[in-house]
Structure 1
Amino acid sequence: MNITLWIVASLLALAFLAAGGVKIFQPQKKLAASGMGWTEDSKPAAIKAIGVTEILGAAGMILPAVTGIASYLVPLAATGLAIVMVGAAITHLKRGEKSMALVSVVLAVLALVVAVGRFGAWAF
C-alpha cells in the first residue's frame, strides 16, 4: 500500500504542479480560451492564488516525505488539495460543467486516499 500511496501522491503532485503553473503563468483571457471558462468570472489575483495553492500542495505531498523533514505535512497537503478540489467541483456544478466537476471530485477522492493513508497505517 505504501508504494500505491507514493504513486498516487506523485501523479497528483505532477497534475497539481502543472495546473498551478498554468494558472500562474498564463493570462486570464488565454485560460478562458483554453477551456477554463470559470476564469472569466474570477479576478486575476484569485486565479493566481489558486495556482500558488496548487503548487504548494503538490510540493507538500512530496518534499516532506522525500527529505524526511516534517513528513506530517504530507497528509495535511493532501487534505488541503482535496478541499480545493471540492471548491472546484462546486464551481463547475454552478456553471453546469458536469464533466469538469467529475474530474475535480476524482482528484479530491485521490487526494483523500493519500491523506487517509498517510494519517493512518502508512504514516511516515
Structure 2
Amino acid sequence: MNITLWIVQILLALLFLMVGSQKVMPSKKGNEEIDRTGNASNLFAFIGIVEILGAVGLILPWLLNIVPVLTPLAAVGFSIIMVLAAIHHAKRKEMKSVVTNIIILALAIFVVIGRLI
C-alpha cells in the first residue's frame, strides 16, 4: 500500500508541477488564450504557484518526516482544486476535462485517506 501511495503522490506531484509551471510561465499561445477567455492573468499565475507549492507539499513532508500531516493536507487542497475545476469545465460543456478532473480528484482522495489512516 505504501508503494502505491508513493507512486500516486509522485504522479500527482509531477502533474501539478507541470501544469502549475505552465500557468506561471505561459507560452505566447497561453497568453493569447488567457486574454481571449477573459481570465485575469494574476489569478492564473497565483493558481499556478499554489499548484507548484502543493506538488512540493505532496512529497517533501512525508519523505523528510517533517510535519508529515502537510502531505494529506496538500492532497485535500488538490481535491478542492479539482472539484472547482470540474465545476468550471462543466459550465463550459468540456466533458473530457470534467472526467479528467474527477480521475485526479479520486487519486488525491486516495492519498488523503491512505496517509491519514
The two structures share one fold, judged by TM-score above 0.5: yes
One-letter amino acid of the counterpart of residue 83, structure 1: I
Q: Assess, with a 3 A threshold, how the Cα gap between structure 1 residues 41 and 94 changes in structure 2: closer, same or farther.
A: farther
1:102 matched to 2:112: no
| Structure 1 moving runs of 4+ over 6 Å | none
After superposition, the CA RMSD in angstroms is: 1.9
Match of residue 7 from structure 1: 7
Number of residue equivalences: 117
Indicate which of 83, 86, 95 corresponds to 1:86.
Answer: 83
Deviations 1:32-57 (A, max 9, x none): 76xx77x7231001101110111111
Identity, in percent, stands at: 44
Q: CA deviation at 1:66?
A: 1.4
| Matched ranges for 1:65-80 at <5 A | 65-80=62-77
When normalised by structure 2's length, the TM-score is 0.92
Q: Helix, strand or coil: the match of 1:26?
A: coil
Ranges in structure 2 where 5+ consecutive residues have no aligned partner: none
1:101: how far off? 1.0
The answer on whether the counterparts of 1:32 and 1:40 sit within 8 Å (CA) in structure 2 is: no
Q: What is the one-letter code of the residue matched to 2:107?
A: L
Map Cα deviations across residues 10-45 of structure 1 (whole Å, 9 max, x no partner). Answer: 000000000000000015x62276xx77x7231001
Aligned to 2:22: 22
Q: 1:97 to 1:26 in 2, by over 3 A?
A: same
Please state if 1:55 is matched with 2:62: no
